[in-house]
Structure 1
Amino acid sequence: MTELPSFYDDLAGCLAEAWRRLEEGAAHQSGFHTPALATLGRDGAPRLRTVVLRGVDRAARTLRIHCDARSDKAAEIAADPRAALHAYDAKAKLQVRIEGRARLHGGDEVARAAWGASRPMSRVCYGTAPGPGTPLPAGGASVQPQDEGAVAAGFSEFRVVVLTVARLEFLYLARSGHRRALFTWNGEGQGATWLAP
């Protein structure tokens, strides 16, 4: 029989494991590196896409991703900051679902720090023309910046999305019995409970 993890019957341990996996994801060390982010479209319908988890601050309960100011994602967050994130690591048999409020940062201290920490190949995306989602006459009809100045100019389109976690659902799949837990934060503190899987 497979040995059960230490968090198996420990609510606080489940929450700690969720944050640990998210932190590993931001460091490219787990399946949580590329979660799915859901926003509300301007028509009220859900919109879902894969993003790259860039940073996690457990104490502040925030997750950081990057996007282009010209993207639907940025417009949707600006119109309605409610967002959800889903991460699943098949090897670990672990799922985390998060709901919260997202905030866009552009041209400020948060954006400058994230831009400075980004790889040069990532910065190129923000100087590409036309912007994300623009219809093209052919697959290769977009143009990437060709020199450092053009790449640097892309900073004006660079946005940092900081998602503050209000609800985190944890699911661990095990033959001996799945474990599912819910953690919530509001103005009165943190709530925690087991849920039926």
Structure 2
Amino acid sequence: MPAESAPGLTQALDLAFQALAGGVTDRRSPFHTPALATVARDGAPSLRTVILRAFDPATRRLRIHTDSRSPKTAELRAEPRAALLAYDPATHTQLRLAGRVTLHDCDAIAEDAWVTSRESSRMTYAAALAPGAPLPAPLAGPDDPQAGRIHFVAVVMTIDCLDWLLLDPAGHRRARFTWDETGAMRASWIAP
């Protein structure tokens, strides 16, 4: 990308938000399956791929889903700070997001997320055993998607920091956007 067509800070944030919005609606988008980092109970980093289910740029909130019995749920209850990472090899764009999460299992947010989920997604939470439980052999899948509602948790992250990186042969560009508790934003270019 020639320097004269390089994005400015406002455009970089717009591109980041468009990538996240596209990750919600386009299952083929690399931003549909970011990696979520949490702190494990022993203090070690814990990383896994999740599916981006919703994003609201006005509130900087995104949503993923999890099983209440999963280690990530316990990790987020103990330490609500988390990070997401996604990279698009086609556009050479990396997004790193950090923020605080809230867990929703028995409220309107959880219910709305549950009823708008596809049946195949609901089946994930209907498994008899908790994610990560040892098995002697693979199990057959459950047959009642409604049975999973009791284990379903909507995880909502409010983005406090967004790091946008464009890997460009003409010169890498990196911007950082941070928001304080009032929602005031600070934006700056930083070294790639």
Does TM, scored on the shorter chain, surpass 0.5? yes
Partner of 1:24: 22
Inter-partner Cα distance in structure 1 for 2:155 and 2:131: 16
Partner of 1:196: 191
Give the deviation of 1:151 after TM superposition: 1.9
Give the deviation of 1:173 after TM superposition: 1.1
Q: What amino acid is aligned across from residue 142 of structure 2 in structure 1? A: P
Identity over aligned pairs, percent:
48
The one-character-per-residue Cα deviations of 1:7-43 (angstroms, maximum 9, x if unpaired) are x240011001000000000112522010000000011
Q: What amino acid is aligned across from residue 151 of structure 2 in structure 1? A: E
Q: Is the 8 A contact 2:81 2:101 kept in 1?
A: yes
Q: Note the residue ranges of structure 2 that are not aligned, 5 or more in a row.
A: none
Q: Is the 8 A contact 2:126 2:147 kept in 1?
A: yes
Which of 144, 149, 155 is the matching residue for 1:155?
A: 149
Partner of 1:174: 168
Inter-partner Cα distance in structure 2 for 1:69 and 1:133: 12
What aligned pairs does 1:137-152 form with structure 2 within 5 A after superposition?
137-138=136-137, 140=138, 142-146=139-143, 150-152=144-146
Partner of 1:131: 130
Partner of 1:68: 67
What aligned pairs does 1:3-42 form with structure 2 within 5 A after superposition?
8-28=6-26, 30-42=29-41
Q: Note the residue ranges of structure 1 that are not aligned, 5 or more in a row.
A: none
Q: Is the 8 A contact 1:129 1:143 kept in 2?
A: no
Partner of 2:92: 93
Which of 165, 168, 186 is the matching residue for 2:159?
A: 165
Query: Residue 148 of structure 2 aligns to a residue in which SS?
Result: helix
The one-character-per-residue Cα deviations of 1:123-151 (angstroms, maximum 9, x if unpaired) are 0010111110101112x1x34322xxx32
Against the structure 1 CA distance between its residues 9 and 187, is the aligned structure 2 distance closer, same or farther, given a 3 Å change threshold? same
Q: What amino acid is aligned across from residue 178 of structure 2 in structure 1? A: T
Q: What amino acid is aligned across from residue 27 of structure 1 in structure 2? A: T
Inter-partner Cα distance in structure 2 for 1:178 and 1:9: 11
What is the Cα-based RMSD across aligned positions, in Å?
A: 1.5
Partner of 1:57: 56
Give the deviation of 1:71 after TM superposition: 0.3
Inter-partner Cα distance in structure 1 for 2:41 and 2:76: 10
Count how many residue pairs are aligned between Structure 1 and Structure 2.
Answer: 190
Inter-partner Cα distance in structure 1 for 2:109 and 2:4: 37
Q: Is the 8 A contact 2:2 2:170 kept in 1?
A: no
| TM-score for the superposition, normalised by structure 1 | 0.92
